[in-house]
Each structure stands twice: as C-alpha cells, then as structure tokens.
Amino acid sequence: MAEDLDKPLLDPDTFDRKGIDLGILPLDEVFEYLRTSPRGLLSGDADERLKIFGPNRLEEKRENKFLKFLGFMWNPLSWVMEAAALMAIALANSQSLGPDWQDFVGIVCLLLINATISFFEENNAGNAAAALMARLALKTRVLRDGQWQEQDASILVPGDIISIKLGDIIPADARLLEGDPLKIDQSVLTGESLPVTKKKGEQVFSGSTCKQGEIEAVVIATGATTFFGKTARLVDSTDVTGHFQQVLTSIGNFCICSIAVGMVLEIIIMFPVQHRSYRIGINNLLVLLIGGIPIAMPTVLSVTLAIGSHRLSQQGAITKRMTAIEEMAGMDVLCCDKTGTLTLNSLTVDKNLIEVFIDYMDKDTILLLAGRASRLENQDAIDAAIVSMLADPREARANIREIHFLPFNPVDKRTAITYIDSDGKWYRATKGAPEQVLNLCQQKNEIAQRVYAIIDRFAEKGLRSLAVAYQEIPEKSNNSPGGPWRFCGLLPLFDPPRHDSGETILRALSLG
C-alpha cells in the first residue's frame, strides 16, 4: 500500500487499475492517496485535476445529425426502394427515352418524408431532454482555497471537500467526514425509497439525496468513475435490437427474397420467352420491385409513433427514441418499486393489531415506549408514524429527562434512548428490527416462536413489524450495560396503497 501511495494521482482509471477501493480505505489513507486534506484543494491544483479527470458529469454521446438522418434510410425496406430509384434512372435510360425521373422523384420523396418525420421527432425529444438536464444542473458547496464556495457540481474533482445538508443531491461519490449522521435516499440506485443512515467514514453515492443531517465529505470519484456512472456505462454498452426493429427487418428480408425470386422469373419469361423490349421489361421490373414492398409502411409507422410521442409529451413524458413506444407496449413484465409508487409512502401504525408480550403493559404503553425511542425532530418515516399515534407528540418526552439517544444504524437496525423517569429511575428503551431486538432479550428462547408467528401473520396482511423492548439501569450510568432486556411488543406498520393503485394495476393487466 505504501508503494501505491507514493505514486502520483494520474488519471480516472488509476483506482480501478491498481485495485484500490477508496470506499473502504481508512480516511487518513484516502487523504494521503488523493493528496488532499480537510482544508480542501487549492484552485490551481483543482484545475489541474479537472484536466486529468474531466468534468463531473456523465459522458454525452455526440451524434452527427446528418449521419443520424441518413440512418433512417438504412434498413431492408429502404434498400429495396433505393434500388428501385437507381433502376428508374440508370437501367431505364435506353431507346432514346431518358431516365424515368417521375418514378425516381416519387420514390426519393417517400424516403425523405419517412426519414424527415423520424429524424425531427427524435431530435426534438433529444433537445427537450437536454434542456431539462440543463435546468437541473446541480450546485454544490465546495471548500477551495480555504473558503466555502457554491459552484457547479461539474467542477468537482477527487480530493475536493464538499458540504452535504438536508435536501442536497449528492454530486459525486464521497466519504463522510465530521458531522451529524445522514439519512440518505438511495432510491435512484436501489429502488428502495426508505432512507438509510450514513455516518463518518461511510461512502455516499452520486445521485442519492440527503434527507436528514449535515456533514462534510471528501470526493473520491467523479463523472463516469462513480457508481452511478459505471452503472450508466453498463446500460449504454448493451446493444439489444428492439422488437420493433426485428419485425421491420423480418418484413424487409421477406420482401427482398420474394422480389428477388419474382424478378428472376419475370426476366426469364419476358426476355427469352416473350421477347419484350428492354424498356418495357425494365418498367415491368420496376412495377414488381416497387409494388412488392409496402412503400408507405415506414412512413405510416413513423407518423403513428410520432403521434404517440406527442401524446406522451402532453403528459410530461419525454420519448428519446420513437421505437421505445412500441417496445413499451410490447413488454410482458412490469417491475416497479412498491413504496411511494403503489403506496402513499406514508407509514401508519394499526393500534388494534399491536401485540403485547408483558402482562402489566397495554397497547398505549407499548406505543409510548416506541415514541420515547423515536426522534421528535428530523424524524424519519418510522419515527413520524409512531409519534403521530400519541395523543400529544410531547408525551414522548413528558416526565422524563433524556440522557442519550442512539440513532438508527444499519448494523444494529434499531434506535434507543436512555432516560430518567419522574421517580429518578434509569431506563433504556429501544425499537427496531424484531430479530435484532429479540436477540437482546433474556426471554428470547421462550417467545421466539410466538414472535415469528406474529411477524408472518403481519406479513400476510402486507404489514411490516417493529419490535419494542426496555431495560432498567440500576447502575444509573449511560455507559452501563444495564439489567436484562424485556421484550414488550410488536407494532404493525402499514403503508396504505394509493387510491388509484388498484385501477392502475387492472389497466396494466388489461393491456396484456
């Protein structure tokens, strides 16, 4: 490792080529490897790195518009029409009768009309997408020359120190430094809309959104080298021919083969057998060549897809490829996120279904303990759902003195609060994943079967489970392990479906 750290930072592929994962290195080694510090980069150093790594954005494929236009005339059906056009001016030029310009112009006009419609529709969609991306250009706070500046996210380079706060879209892959733990929405990467907790030393990814907290971070990857950029590159590297193009190609190939056989037979019959004149024979071949293909089909299909693209644009959807409309209509399986898509992304607790495991407690007591183990400010979805079930949210801290609050983390999968009640007794309450909370409790072997049976019953109804437990702390110290944990109860969490989810699913099924 020391040998690698002594080498200068060279290019965007350095990390991958050397097999160094900056997402797991200790932070001090990350700073050393990136030749940076918590004070940030100097502007001159940042400019040099920008020349090496390039702007912090995904690579845009620049298409030659003229070649793109010609591409709409490069398919089997167009080939036959182009061959007919050449025959009309080349082979038909005989017997003092000039080229058949009427047929030539008519065929070329059909080709140009079809290509023009397709080109302009896709070009307009591409321009709309580009304009949308320009309006959504990210801004970020970056530490340069010892001062915080608000800059375009595109100027970020590995080694920059950035500030992340509530509502920010993470502009690049980064490692978190000093500050409050963050709640990060990674739905753009994972599809799960519930936020995850990130704290010092952990990695955050470009494109995710900060839902809670404020912290500084050091940039470790930008542009195409980010996790999001690598994913986009994998998607772009796939070259799958759509069903629509396959159908057109099959029709074109069938027409070409049929016309070729027909032309051979007609040539044999017209010239050796019937002794037709050359010009008449060519005219007959042109009729067969043009009549044997559905000349108007590409134009009709382009117009139909253009109308579909226009109707989608009226509903706020941008179609970058017109053939995507047919591909969307031909899908067999639709995979979508449940939370926030089919549901309201608004968790609630069904008080009637709360399961109590301690005789001297009731459902209200279970809710109160869960409320105490919840934040009253900067709440996540689960905390908000539980506190809202109390008659007054202030009950969660009424008649107690909070000593310490342990926020949720992905390892323990629970929150906990240490507090002193009105009698001066010390307690610790926790809520979280049933498996984790159950493992804390002394009576887990006796109640495990019942706990898992209730979890399964909740799951059959589409409910998630949240466990609550508490312990006394005789030592009256926050650092004390405390007495045995007691499993108190299970709370069912319900995310109601959207009012139109049933209708939407039925409509999707009716479309096949």
Query: Catalytic site residues?
Result: 337
Report the distance separating Cα 403 and Cα 407, nearest Å: 13
Query: Alpha carbon of 373 to those of 37, 368, 433, 466: distances in Å?
Result: 37, 9, 13, 12
Beta-carbon neighbour count of residue 68 at 10 Å?
15
Whether the Cβ atoms of residue 489 and residue 438 lie closer than 8 Å to each other: no
Are the CB atoms for 218 and 34 separated by under 8 Å? yes
Alpha-carbon dihedral 436, 441, 445, 448, rounded to 10 degrees? -50
Tokens, residue 318: 């941008």
Contact 55, 155 (CB under 8 A): yes
DSSP class of residue 390 equals S
Closest CA to 170 of 209, 137, 126: 209
Give me the DSSP letters along 66-134: HHHHHHTT-SHHHHHHHHHHHHHHTTT-BTTB---HHHHHHHHHHHHHHHHHHHHHHHHHHHHHHHHHH
How many CB atoms neighbour CB 316 within 10 A? 6
Give phi and psi for 480, each to the nearest 5. -75, 145
